[in-house]
Chains A and B, each alone.
Chain A
């Protein structure tokens, strides 16, 4: 994939709106292409993937979350998705993400961080049919070694308190 920014990134304020949009679109596209390992490589070393259970959930430690996964748990999920005997992945999930309304909410040059909000919908086809997830993403992006990385991807589903059928792929 050709990079929008051939120059290394030195600080958060070097990042344009266009680069942010491209980063989010690319992230979603890797998921839809089931390139999970490449997707996981977008995360910073300590990066977290988080789906809160309740609206405005303040923290992932003192409350249950639909998912709160570090690099280890993401990679184990990926290993499983790629395993022959992942029974519930027969047929495999297929997804299509729409990411929109991207807004840079905060830029912090001292910590080299950006907070980016967006809206998304993900359609997923499973053996039991087509279903939709919808909600808001909040990406905390960090500049690390000249690259943009995900410090936290927070997925606030609008129906997070609903009863769900199993959620297997990343949203």
Chain B
């Protein structure tokens, strides 16, 4: 396939969203090689705990071994192929046992026992041969509890891959008085009838809220005016934000980095209320007031860790993007406890998630709808190219320590940046993309 024909400097061909052939190549060249988010180590606190999820279309199991190490293997029994662990979280007492013929495996995936072993004499079967153990994924790496894996032996080092957005993960955890976070409160799962890249493009797209979310911010404002004399409690404040005027959006900063990553500065702050003060005190008690102020001054909206996840550092949300097919995408939303912070802060994290990320969110439903409309429109012959022109060529190298590029808040920089990495991966490169815009 000629990848180069699909990408121009500020446009992409519709085939990147609708072609089955492109999708299967992505599963191979992007999800088969990039560092993909698997889970958080707090989901498997004890040896024998496991978490079953997907990398691209591959079912994988993340488990904590006897020596506290984290193993990730394909969810496939080497005997007849049955999956050895069900989806979600679970616990096993020291070994995995296939439900089909009871082959057993240690927590590191090594084959331990096979019934009727006598019958295997004089065959090519060998209890110690790795091909009869659970197959491990090629590479596993973690940063501050966030576990990623790559299905390819070769490729970018994890450190290099993460460099641009490492500061977002630091801030995610530094906000906790103990310096660590834990998954809490369950998982929201939302299905979208659209290509996975459409969701990624939306995450830092500030051109859309005022149009897409009109019904919800008007609804919130109507209630506020009719019942509350214009006051906006936390829930309504979140919804109202999408209706901010154009200048508000263009005044934000967008930062873009190698490998398709980016982040956007915050669109609103946590309310200055007794809970925020109580939380600040709990953080300051551990790290000192100055440091606590510095930590909270780093206030970001969505960070994108392309091509698998998006943390929201200031409200402890973590979205994971799992492609299902060329026109179907699963988004999983995790919420985190800041270890050592007051319980009420976690309750506010849940409130934020209930409003913004629940399948019944009155905000997200219009996003999901327009993604599906794009998918339908792009399947027509009404035009081959998709525009990414907004502020193209105007982004500047960022002088701060993180480097990368910076653009005005309404630039399509993050989208163009994702496609630079996409192009690099799809041309069988490492995904690291040099930035033509800076030159």
Contacts and interface: CB of A to CB of B under 8 A. Distances in A.
Contacts of A161: 189
A84 B327 CA distance: 28
Interface residues of B, number: 44
Contact of B354 (A67, A72, A75, A89): A67
Most B CB within 10 A of own CB, among A67, A86, A88 = A88
B interface SS class: helix
Given A86-B366, A168-B362, A75 B223 contact: yes
B368 interface: yes
Given A62-B346, A164-B191, A67 B358 contact: yes
B347 interface: yes
Contact of A87 (B185, B360, B366): B366
B235 A83 contact: no
Nearest to A68: B354
A166 B359 contact: yes
B363 to A, nearest CB: 9
Nearest to A73: B235
B219 A77 contact: yes
A66 interface: yes
B222 A79 contact: yes
B296 interface: no
A128 B362 contact: no
Contact of A72 (B216, B235, B365): B235
A100 interface: no
A85 B214 contact: yes
B295 interface: no
A164 B239 contact: no
B358 A72 contact: no
A67 B372 CA distance: 23
A75 to B, nearest CB: 5
B220 A83 contact: no
A61 B347 contact: yes
A56 interface: no
B362 A66 contact: no
A64 B335 contact: yes
A62 B347 contact: yes
Given A67-B360, A68-B354, A76-B223, A166 B365 contact: yes
Contact of B185 (A64, A76, A78): A64
B364 A87 contact: no
A163 B191 contact: yes
B186 interface: yes
Contacts of A66: 188, 358-360
A166 B191 CA distance: 8
A77 B233 CA distance: 15
Contacts of A79: 218-220, 222-223
B361 interface: yes
Q: What size tier do the contact residues of chain A reach?
A: 35 or more
A86 B361 CA distance: 13
Contacts of B187: 64
A59 to B, nearest CB: 10
B188 A80 contact: no
B147 interface: no
Nearest to A79: B219
B362 A76 contact: yes
B379 interface: no
Contact of A167 (B222, B360, B372): B360
Contacts of A62: 185, 343, 346-347, 350
Interface in B332-381: 335, 343, 346-347, 350, 353-354, 358-362, 364-366, 368-370, 372-373
A63 B350 contact: yes
B223 A72 contact: yes
A168 B365 CA distance: 7
Contacts of A86: 215, 366
A89 B216 CA distance: 12
A83 B220 CA distance: 11
A63 B343 CA distance: 11
B186 A165 contact: no
Nearest to A82: B219
23 contacts: A53-B186, A54-B186, A61-B347, A61-B350, A62-B347, A64-B185, A64-B186, A64-B358, A66-B359, A72-B235, A76-B216, A76-B219, A76-B220, A80-B215, A83-B214, A85-B215, A88-B368, A88-B369, A165-B190, A165-B368, A166-B190, A166-B359, A168-B362
Those 4 A-B pairs whose CB atoms lie nearest each other, nearest first: A88-B369, A79-B219, A163-B189, A166-B365
Given A80-B218, A88-B368, 5 more contacts: A62-B350, A64-B186, A65-B354, A79-B220, A167-B359
